[in-house]
Every structure is written in structure tokens, then in C-alpha cells.
Amino acid sequence: MTAIITARELEQALAGERPPVLLDVRWQLSTAAAAGAPPFDGRSEYAAGHIPGAVFVDLDRELAAPPGPRGRHPLPDVAEFGAAMRRAGVRAGAPVVTYDGGQGWAAARAWWLLRWTGHEDVRVLDGGLAAWRGPLSTGVEEAAEGDFLPVPGAIGLLDADGAAALAREGLLLDARAAERYRGDVEPVDRVGGHIPGAVSAPTTDNVAEDGTFRPAAELAARFEKLGAARASRVGGVGVYCGSGVSAAHEVLALELAGVPAALYAGSWSEWSRDEERPVERGA
């Protein structure tokens, strides 16, 4: 079983004997609010139209702790995350499919958290809601209470010191846009640039024009060129981004390519808050 599912495969699974729990995780990073425009409202988008049976999951409130020293989207309290997943109907051993509006970042964050806390049967809808051709439901749906009990540690997680060490001894990939990596612009965090030794690898390069992931062979070739094969044999591979959301999407791409990778959840928003930590700029 791969970590993604096509819209056609999902349609068949929903009609099968073990339909998956559907998590709608629509979210987007936006600086619109700072300019006076209303922020993106994923809950309203969900209510206006979602895949039948899906339950809305709020990334900012249920897949992250409040912003602070650990970054803009720190990992949620494990007990609170487990409660949120049970409210959404997640059950131990039962399949789960996460999706968002099409970018894939938020869905990947939910996928990563479930995998990290021990759920083994989780997939992301490839291409998100934009790829879905079936009917949509409106309003708000509630699921029967699940029984999932999270146990963290099933896949790799990095702190700031671990990310710095991996940049020296293995391969640390920066999943943000190249201009943010270089420090040309920084629309969100305190300062621009990147963790010294990190390699620029925008996660947007992992998908085709329609938002679906590139074939596994293409992804494997991309990450091999970036040094992932060698690093896997030495220090390992890690990924960070601005706040641990788009980096989860790159961890997913690496899994499709057959490369295990750890997530630096605090990412640049945690790293750049500490003025004692070094910042590198340029290509």
C-alpha cells in the first residue's frame, strides 16, 4: 500500500466493505490577514462542499499547538490530538484518508501526525478535493466516536539540534520556496535564510501541474540527485519548511520515492526565533 490514493481508488474504497474515515483538512498559508483581508476559513469551505462522510479537522487548532517559541505550528499535545482524532472517527486499524483543497500540504500534516503516533493505514488523496469527481455534501457532519490512542515515535522527528546535526552529517532538505531559502524574501518569519548546510528542495517540485505527485521513479531520481541515497546510508535524511506543514508534504514525497525521512516540526519559524542560532543566506 502506498501513502497516496487516487480519486478513483477512493471512490471504490468508499463503496467497499471497509470504507475509510475521511478527514477534510482544508487550510492555506496566507498573509492576507496582515493586509486587512479576511483569513482563509477552511471550516466554511468544508461546509460549502466536501466529500460525503468527511469530517473537518482544523489544522491550526487540532493538528498544532498555539504558536510560540517552538514555532508557528508546534506539534499538538498528544492527548489532545488523540481526542481530536477520536472525535473525527479515527479507529485503530481502520483506514484513514486525508485530503485538502488540492495543495496537499495540510493533508500531509494530518497524514504525518497519524503515522508518527502509530496509525499505519493512512493515505493522502492525491490531488486533493480538486481531483474528486464524485458528489459533494454540504453542511457539517459528525462521525461516530473512534478509539484511536496515539503513541508517538513511530517515524522520525527532529528538534533544532538534531536538524543542525543532520545538516552536517546527513542531508537536511529545505522544502520552502527557493527565494525564502536564499533569504531574498521572508513574508512570515523574523528573518530570511536557511539552516547552515541545508539543501534547497522546494516541495512544489514534487508535484505535476495538476497538483498530483510525480511518479515514484521521478521522485526517486530527484532525491538521489540531491544526495538522499548517500545520506540514507550515513546520517539520514530530514526535512523542514516554515512551520512543519509543507515539510510533511516532502516527507510524504520521500516515502513515495522509498526514502525514509525525519521531520523537523519546529522548522524555520522555531529556528529563526532564536537569535543565537546561525543563519545562512544565498544559494
Residues with active-site annotation: 241
8 A C-beta contact, residue 188 and residue 31: yes
Encoded amino acid at 167, one letter = A
Q: Looking up cell 532564536, which residue turns up? A: 274
The DSSP code for 203 is: G
Sequential DSSP letters for 38-105: PPP-HHHHHHH-B-TT-EE--HHHHSSPPSBTTBSSPPPPHHHHHHHHHHTT--TTS-EEEE-SSS-H
Phi, psi of 101 (to 5 degrees): -70, -15
How distant is the alpha carbon of residue 150 from its chain centre?
18
Element (H, E) at 180: helix 178-182
d(CA 45, CA 41): 6
Pick the closest to residue 182 from 170, 169, 167, 198 (CA basis). Answer: 198
3-class secondary structure, 68: strand
Task: Give me the residues paired with residue 238 across strands.
Answer: 172, 262
8 A C-beta contact, residue 114 and residue 107: no
Q: Rounded to a whole number, what is the distance in angstroms from the first to the last CA of the chain?
A: 37
d(CA 126, CA 194): 29
Phi, psi of 200 (to 5 degrees): -70, 125
3-class secondary structure, 174: strand
